Amino acid sequence: MRDSKGEKLFYLTNYLILALIALSCIFPLLNVASLSLSGATAVAAGKVTIWPVDFSFFSYDSLFKGTPIIRAFWNSVQITLIGTALSMLTTIMAAYPLSRRQFYGRRFFTMAMVFTMIFNGGLIPTYLVVQNLGLVNSYAALWLPALVSTYNMLLMRSSFEQLPREVDEAAKIDGCGELGVLFRIVLPLSKPMLATLALFYGVGYWNAFMNVLIYINDTAKFNMTVLVQNMIKSTSMIQDFNDPTMIANITAEGIRSAAVIVMIIPILAVYPLLQKYFVKGVMLGSIKG
């Protein structure tokens, strides 16, 4: 069936709007990348737009030699990997029993968890709890309070509920217990959902900012997000470098742009690997059928 003129016009309009939205998202990224790869004179003169001028890696060289970016990067990796693993484990352990009809009280426990999406203890009570547990200035203060996202748990529970019950019954007939059904049957069939939620948790931990400011006092434990924010606010960054050659060949804007690019590269690298699971995973968790 051929599209009418009205439908063609509608599709064309949609494509144009989506293209403009995509450009509005890509342009700032290209500008930051160009600033990080341009010479100091061009950056200071404001000549850089979306293409590097006087191409140079000096900003990156100065960033790695003159700032604690490597330590902050490693801190972010630790926070993200361990936090994502713990959150995925606890989310699975919460979602699986709540997806089983034979689990007594599953409606009560589900509603109790949904309640936390609407009401919470607030910032000060949460800080006092973390402080009394002795977690201040440790990464556990970042992991434990946000261990399970109720939204993510509901998505995973819905995904588990859509798996055929006959598969569970067949596994139990073959001698599998509940853990065997979970790890041998349910999880292998839920790879799109697992990849999607791992991406959600990973991005959340990688971009952790406010919790780090609140709970982490030792600057040596700051992650990339906080370090980059401090660099953006700093007005004396260039003076902190001891090498006169560095001072002459870099600008604060170039260093900041390089730091931003270093911070976002891991997410840009991981997302394409999980993209094929992303839409399918969200749809599995949101459509009942």
The closest alpha carbon to 276, from 195, 198, 216, 161, belongs to 195
* Statement: residue 99 has pLDDT above 90: no
User: What is the Cα 135 distance to its own chain's centre?
Assistant: 23
pLDDT in tens, 198-226: 988 999 999 999 999 999 988 889 999 99
Q: How many of the other CB atoms lie within 10 Å of CB of 55?
A: 11
CATH number of 58-286: 1.10.3720.10
Domain ranges of the chain: 1-56, 58-286
Q: What is the pTM of this model?
A: 0.83
Distances (CA, A) of 236 to 72, 110, 222, 232: 20, 51, 19, 10
Look-up of token digits 């144009």: 16
pLDDT in tens, 112-151: 888 888 888 788 888 999 999 999 999 999 999 888 889 9
pLDDT at 237 over 80: no
Phi-psi region of 234 (alpha: psi -120 to 50; beta: other; left: phi over 0): beta
CB count, 10 Å around CB of 256?
21
